[in-house]
């Protein structure tokens, strides 16, 4: 079967916490300083999902789009949304510097190519940041396409997030597999019958609702001979 493997980026291909945890702290600190709003710092952090120095699974930061994050800041202070957008854009280099690839990713992507599959990144992150990720780790030879949070008005797990991509290439849904570490991934296309695989190594089992199958690590997608788990 010709498969199209849709990979979430943060937490599936990329070490989520090493990237977004320091960014979340920096953005919250800067926000309350710039808006003189230290009294609501804990409320802002909780609304974003940054609690006790950690980002909680399925929170706004963990699975939301940039627009979702901007709305949280706007909900606390008028102008906060635009501030958050500008803050993100001014810190893209910091984010690129903090990116770390999860062990085994290139091997997994190469197995996909060896099997004749197409590897696609499906992320709520921006296209700019995603392309920086691809370039930094020299993933261009492995990746067929990327679908990003600012490409359309939909967001994961809405099927519309990937529908234009499917229509463009005239893919059958049964040939696609979504792989990710939270419910925004495992619930993607649930009503349309899209097969999803949850990765529990970075997420938590209770946050992988709708997954047809769950693996501990992305490296468990292929066996020692490079055969995909659904084809074994």
CA 186 – CA 230 distance, rounded (Å): 16
Look at 152-156, 185-189, 204-208 and tell me which has the smallest mean pLDDT: 204-208
Mean pLDDT taken over the chain: 93
CA angle 87, 90, 93 (to 5 degrees): 125
Comparing CA positions, the residue from 2, 48, 57, 59 lying closest to residue 24 is 48
Over pLDDT 70: what percentage of the chain? 97
pLDDT tens across 17-38, in order?
888 999 999 999 999 999 999 9
Residue 186 · residue 210 · CB < 8 Å: yes
Residue 61 · residue 69 · CB < 8 Å: yes
Judged against a pLDDT cut of 90, whether residue 62 lies above it is answered with no
CA 164 – CA 180 distance, rounded (Å): 20
pLDDT band at 14 (very low <50, low <70, confident <90, very high): very high
Calculate Rg over the CA atoms of the chain.
Answer: 18
| E strand segments, the chain | 4-7, 50-51, 54-55, 118-122, 143-147, 176-180, 195-199, 213-215
């Amino acid at each position: 079967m010709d498969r199209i493997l849709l990979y979430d980026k943060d937490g599936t291909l990329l070490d989520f916490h090493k990237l977004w945890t320091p960014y979340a702290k920096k953005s919250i600190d800067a926000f309350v300083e710039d808006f003189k709003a230290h009294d609501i710092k804990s409320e802002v952090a909780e609304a974003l999902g940054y609690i006790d120095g950690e980002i909680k699974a399925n929170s706004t930061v963990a699975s939301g789009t940039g627009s979702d994050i901007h709305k949280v800041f706007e909900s606390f202070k008028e102008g906060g949304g635009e501030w958050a957008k500008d803050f993100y854009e001014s810190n893209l280099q910091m984010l690129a510097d903090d990116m770390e690839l999860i062990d085994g990713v290139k091997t997994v992507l190469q197995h996909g190519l060896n099997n004749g599959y197409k590897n696609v990144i499906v992320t709520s992150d921006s296209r700019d940041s995603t392309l920086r990720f691809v370039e930094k780790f020299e993933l261009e030879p492995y990746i067929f396409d990327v679908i990003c949070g600012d490409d359309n008005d939909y967001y994961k797990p809405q099927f519309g997030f990937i529908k234009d991509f499917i229509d463009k290439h005239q893919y059958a849904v049964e040939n696609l597999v979504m792989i990710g570490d939270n419910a925004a991934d495992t619930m993607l296309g649930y009503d349309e019958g899209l097969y999803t695989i949850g990765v529990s190594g970075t997420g938590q089992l209770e946050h992988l609702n709708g997954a047809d199958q769950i693996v501990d690590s992305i490296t468990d997608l292929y066996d020692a001979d490079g055969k995909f788990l659904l084809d074994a």
